[in-house]
Amino acid sequence: MSDEGNKPQLCHTIFYRLAAIQYRNVKNGQEQVLPTADEHIIMIVTGGTGTLYVNSEQHALGHGACFIFGPGTRMEFAAGGFEGGEEGLSFYYIAFDGIGAEPGKASFPCLGEVSCKPFSYCISELQALHDKREVEDELEAFRHAIRFQQLLLFIMQQNLSLRSESGERRAMEQSIAHIRQNFREELTVDRLADHAGIVRWRYSRLFKELTGEIPLHYLNGVRVEQAKKMLASTDERLFSIAQSVGYSNEYYFSRRFKQSVGLTPGQYRRHQRENIRVFAPFIEDYLLALGIRPIMQFSHDHWGRQEYLGLDDVPEFNVVTDNEATLSGFAPEFILMDTGIERWGMDKLASLAPSIQLSYKGEEWRTTLHSIADLLGKAEEVSPVIADYENKAAAAKAKLLRVVKRQTVACLRLSADRVQLYGGPDHGYTGPVLYRDLGLSPHALVEKLAKGLRFVELTMEELALLDADHLFITIDPTAGRQIELLHSPLWRSLPAVRSGSVHEVDFLSWMNYGVLSHHRKIDDVLRVLC
């Protein structure tokens, strides 16, 4: 008997059509029943936690979870209610159907919970699909359709190969669930592999493929997350907390906790209370978004301070001239710095208080905000802050689409001796806001010269080709106001200059990654373009 019938039927559907894509933020505690659709549905979770109910089955929802269901599937979910559920739930909801299929054979070959690793690639594709969902240009619409096929191919390539090993995959998923439920027990890789019925070397490899971590690192992460909750919500002694999360030795627990979090358990607990005295040079934006006022604020000889934050009553710390003696008088209890602060040699400040240097890329401001909130006991503040920004950006995008339409935009930073063109929707201080969140069209030079870069320095020949409809410019304060370029025939010949469509914006609010600075960018864009 032939086993042809057991193979995935890929040939019957030659093309899949994207019917709809939405990005949703659901507050903790809310429950929703998703409408039964005539199309296939993809649900991909980008943040928070929750529980999904499908055909009497229950699935935990968390960052990176991906589900695909066939037409007619009834789904409902609850945001939160799972470990870390105070964050609510954010996810992409995608509907698609088959074109060119034989009747009754349009089913997508990968259904149920599926793998979509690396998740960063998946998110990048989803953002692009979401941002271009309303394009009218035929060429862009065709590109959009191809991008969706590529996303489906990406999912199929991973999951069809896993399907041939579906027994192993189920065993690994059960093993991961076993760790999360039994993290207090003494678990070793040998015991976990035996429990899953998979040889140790293959178990470790499959575990890394599914989670991105080796088993014991994953176990430690689960234990640390549980410990953080107990530290924030109870007065239990450290020894008791260590025992309750699976560590027999308090000192080993403290060492592993600090390796993971950057603070000792005692320091983490103290930072969960109100009114902690924090110094966070140049990242005060994040503190204010979480409702925390710093004890001192960043300033620079030439750049000044971040006026847009409105910290007029907060003393200034000049990163060029001040030192630890200046800061010590303000008795900091915690110091936060990003990697950009290294240029001023401020590592000596770490002697004054527990210090952490954030290592996230600036474009990952949501991750940075989550990390800072977690360290300072403000985790419940993050989801409303992000949702407020995303709602504002979505409303502004809709308005700009009606007003600006296909007019092109570019952003320049001008110094005394150079012109920097800032990059596209994935990189830099401005591109993710202008081109991704607001849906503005980057000038061709942005994609040609600055693709994959935060910015590129323009030659005068390249500047002469910048015929964007609108130019946003910010002038580096170190250059003063006398920039010869602005009085040159070349500058006056640019179309945006001739039409009066050059818009100067504040330097420190636009050369910043904080969520409040992004709010300011949206306000500035709406003010001059609408």
For 376-395, letters b (16+ CB in 10 Å) and e give bbbbebbbebbeebeebbee
Beta bridge partners of 192: none
Whole-number percent of the chain with pLDDT over 90: 34
Answer positive or negative: Cα dihedral of 205, 261, 232, 31. Answer: negative
Q: What is the mean pLDDT of residues 55-79?
A: 83
As a dihedral over the C-alpha atoms of residue 13, residue 17, residue 19, residue 23, rounded to 10 degrees, the angle is 100
* Alpha-carbon distance values, 473 to 37, 393, 410, 453 (Å): 47, 21, 9, 18
Closest CA to 93 of 144, 133, 137, 55: 133
pLDDT tier for residue 83 given thresholds of 50, 70 and 90: very low
Q: What is the mean pLDDT of residues 337-345?
A: 76
Distance CA 393, CA 435 (A): 11
What DSSP string runs through 504-522? E--HHHHS--SHHHHHHHH
- Helix or strand run (H / E) with residue 493: helix 489-493
- pLDDT at res. 82: 42
- pLDDT at res. 6: 42
DSSP state of 435: I
- pLDDT at res. 445: 94
* Alpha-carbon distance values, 15 to 5, 98, 287, 330 (Å): 21, 6, 48, 64
pLDDT(84) > 50: no
The structural domains of the chain, ordered by start, are 4-159 (2.60.120.280), 167-271 (1.10.10.60), 278-359 (3.40.50.1980), 390-529 (3.40.50.1980)
Average pLDDT taken over every residue of the chain:
85
Q: What are phi and psi of 222, to 5 degrees?
A: -60, -45
Most trustworthy range by pLDDT among 74-78, 300-304, 355-359, 417-421 = 417-421
What DSSP string runs through 302-368? TTEE-GGG--TTSPEEETTT--HHHHHTT--SEEEEEGGGGGGTGGGGGGTS-EEEE-S-TT-HHHH
Helix (H, G, I), strand (E, B) or coil at 62: coil
Distance CA 125, CA 133 (A): 12
